[in-house]
Amino acid sequence: MGIFGEENKPAASEGAVTLTKADLQTLLEAAVRAAKAPNALEQRELERQLEQDRRRSLAQVEFEKAEELAARRRSHGCTHRRHPLGSRYAGMSAPKGEGEWCTGRQIVGRIGEQIATLICMRCSYVWQFKPTNAEREYIESNGLLGFAPPPEETLVAQGVNL
């Protein structure tokens, strides 16, 4: 007989292995997964990169927290005032209630919905408020360097990160 003759075929009773289509599919998927899996060196390098990324993200979170804390301390510790020019401590931070305001204002927005922005030149704290018509005209013509923060009832927003 030929190559595939009866004598070369194993008998079913001799422990022949039979595979279903689903078994063969599972076996092939496992083989492909194993072929694509990284070897020991690649796995170690991958784990090292993942650990480095994890550390970098933790450090970034800590850096952002420290940056936010510094900005908060700077803005809440600032009196928004300085000693006047010609004095012994000219330009240095003055205690609350003394010195001159170190703020500046500008108008932002379209006509009819304008908002004035006041910024402390020392700590970058921002107050946004709706100016009255007289305030708007004064700001547009003269600017407002060295003016006090607006009253609470006119505030739209305030803070460091506006």
Q: Identify the residue with better confidence: 1 or 90.
A: 90
Domain range for 137 is: 100-159
Residue 154 and residue 109 in one domain:
yes
Q: Is the pLDDT of residue 55 over 90?
A: yes
Q: Read out DSSP for 79-143? A: -SEEPPTTSTTTTSB--TTSSEE-EEEEEESSTTS-EEEEEETTT--EEEE---HHHHHHHHHH-
8 A C-beta contact, residue 154 and residue 130: yes
Residue 107, domain member (yes or no): yes
Residues in the chain, how many?
162
Residue 50, domain member (yes or no): yes
The predicted structure's pLDDT at residue 4: 53
Residue 63, domain member (yes or no): yes
Instruction: Give the predicted TM-score (pTM) of the model.
Output: 0.51
Show the tokens assigned to 103. 């703020």
